[in-house]
Amino acid sequence: MPLESPSDLVLGADLQRRLDALFVNAPLRDYSIRPRVNDFTLPVLGMGYIATYAAHRGMNVGVLDAEAHGLGLDHTARIINDLAPRWVGFNLLAPTYEISARLAAALHPEIKLLLGGHQAKAMPAEILTDPRMACCEALVIGEAETRVVELLEDHRNRAELPGVMWLDPVLKTPVTGGRPSSGGYLAPPINQLPFVDRRFLTQDPHFDAGRWEANMVGARGCPYDCSFCGAAVSANPDITVRIREPDNILAEMDELRRCGVSAFRFVDDLFLGAKRVINTMMTAFTAERVGDWAAWDATGRINVLNRASDDMLDTLAANGLREVALGVESGSERVLQLIDKRIDPEMTHSVVRRLTERGINVKGYFILGFPTETEAEIDQTVRLVHDLWAIADDQPGSFRASAFEYRPYPGTPDWTRLMATGRYTVDQLLNYTAVDLTSSGAEAAMRERDEFNFSVNLQLSEAPIDYVRRNLVSLSREQYERKVAA
């Protein structure tokens, strides 16, 4: 049951005083209709960073993670209206846009609306002209820490800030701010930002498998262009790819260590995604003997790890690398080329073998139902998952598969391709709908990732949707049985 009291739900703020801003992560669906069946989700680090920066500038701000708390729509709106902050900020992702817009429409009109996140970047004009967003004073494209603080201090300066948009009150057309040489706002100095204040985060640090674990961001932006991905470089022209200095990362890890944290998860795309980053980080980790006290997980790129020497993989293991999450995506070479993944199944076999034989666990992400994908190509993906399980079965490290149904995201190369076919409308491609594969919560095997089971319910692949879902369910069940058996 969700907790009722705002003081349990709104984190980091002094609720005795009026809030300058409340940052709200909308739920993926209205949990008053079908309750959330999971009790853990990763924290909203982006909003945590903004709130931390604003608090350092003396503002009274809080974060309400309605997804993590499994809140219903009315409940979320009631909390916001009761607190009546000066501003409310939403992190808009494509699948949470609709629910965020419904929330926005239910708020008192005197609360100023601040919008950001991937969907705000992909479709700003459509959002600003959505009547439910009529209270929007500022839509911020991209990394928002420094611009949000300026806006909270005095939103009339929005015309000076680059990548800040609003609706002209007379002409009803979108306007973009920004004076010359104000580009620095788009790429906040990541080594000077205060470490994210975990008072703003739900379940972070959290206790798991005998350790306190915290999530971290080591880099911003991704240089790759995988055609389905919202983080792809072509979908994020505003972003300058940056990696935090090793000393800065180690200082944050050390601060957390003093609070008892000894496990870390790097959520960003680049930590093990570029050779230069791996080399620099591991030199620093080795010098500080991180492997003596910490275990950490990170995302990685198969093509990059494939080029890493055996010595480097040994160094990663010695430095505490516990699990690498890899975008394997497909077992079909044609699909891998189509999505510009720059890997092939042979490379994946080799990387999974070389990591697991060193005791490093691997989590593989797979997508079923890519546009144009055939049943035979889906079968190749299913076979690849089985091959990777078999490879790891004999090794000290394990392999686990996490499979998703394909869905399109605005701004990505796939979105452009799908729209160019002339077969779909924007509304159809945005019609993300929750799909219950858990038999109303009864099937344990499907519960773990229930909130990620949503679909636009269009057959975008050559294979029927039912074929995609049957394979998704059988892979998920098998993975679950392996976990239970282990």
* Footprint of ligand SF4 (CB under 6 A): 222, 224, 226, 229, 231-232, 269, 301, 327
DSSP 264-323: EEE-SS-TBSSHHHHHHHHHHHHHTTGGGT-EEEEEE-HHHHHHS-HHHHHHHHHTTEEE
For ligand B12, the closer of residues 103 and 317 by Cβ is 103
Instruction: By CB under 6 A, tell whether 415 contacts ligand B12.
Output: no
For ligand SF4, the closer of residues 157 and 402 by Cβ is 402
Instruction: By CB under 6 A, tell whether 53 contacts ligand B12.
Output: no
Binding track over 435-474 against ligand B12, x by CB under 6 A: -----------------x----------------------
Q: Which does 118 bind (CB under 5 to 8 A by kind): ligand B12, ligand SF4, none?
A: ligand B12
Tokens of 77: 């709106």
Tell me how many residues contact ligand B12 (CB under 6 A). 41
Closest distance to ligand SF4 from the beta carbon of 412 (Å): 9
* Type of residue found at 146: T
Closest distance to ligand B12 from the beta carbon of 376 (Å): 26
Instruction: By CB under 6 A, tell whether 302 contacts ligand B12.
Output: no
Q: Which does 140 bind (CB under 5 to 8 A by kind): ligand B12, ligand SF4, none?
A: ligand B12
Tell me, rounded to whole angstroms, the distance of Cα 179 from its chain centroid. 31
Alpha helices in 357-425 (DSSP H): 375-393, 413-420
Instruction: By CB under 6 A, tell whether 119 contacts ligand B12.
Output: yes
CA 463 – CA 443 distance, rounded (Å)? 25
Closest distance to ligand SF4 from the beta carbon of 297 (Å): 15
CA 386 – CA 418 distance, rounded (Å)? 31
Q: Which does 224 bind (CB under 5 to 8 A by kind): ligand SF4, ligand B12, none?
A: ligand SF4
What residues contact 430, with CB distance under 8 A and at least 6 apart?
94, 97, 98, 410, 456
Closest distance to ligand B12 from the beta carbon of 181 (Å): 21
Tokens of 99: 């629910």
For ligand SF4, the closer of residues 24 and 401 by Cβ is 401
Closest distance to ligand B12 from the beta carbon of 169 (Å): 20
**Quick one: DSSP state of residue 421?**
T
Q: Catalogue the long-range contacts made by 336-344 (C-beta closer than 8 Å, 24 or more residues apart).
A: 338/227, 338/370, 338/372, 339/226, 339/227, 339/228, 339/370, 339/414, 340/224, 340/225, 340/226, 340/227, 340/413, 341/226, 342/224, 342/303, 343/301, 343/302, 343/303, 343/306
Q: Whose structure tokens read 């104000």?
A: 182
For ligand B12, the closer of residues 157 and 374 by Cβ is 157
Binding residues for ligand B12, rule: CB under 6 A, are 23, 25-26, 28, 41-42, 44-47, 49-50, 67, 89-91, 93-96, 114-119, 122, 140, 143-145, 148, 217, 229-231, 267-269, 409, 452
